Amino acid sequence: EVQLQASGGGLVQAGGSLTLSCVVSGFTVDDGAIAWFRQAPGKEREGVSCISKNDGATYYADSVKGRFTMSSDNAKNTVYLQMNNLKPEDTAVYYCAADRTYYSGFYYLQRPSVMDYWGKGTQVTVSS
Q: How far apart are CA 49 and CA 22, in angstroms?
A: 13
Band (pLDDT 50/70/90 cuts) for residue 34 is very high
Question: Lowest-pLDDT range, 65-69, 74-78, 89-93, 121-125?
Answer: 74-78
Q: Are the C-beta atoms of 111 and 104 separated by less than 8 Å?
A: no
pLDDT in tens, 51-75: 988 888 899 999 999 999 999 998 8
- pLDDT recorded at residue 120: 95
Band (pLDDT 50/70/90 cuts) for residue 98 is very high
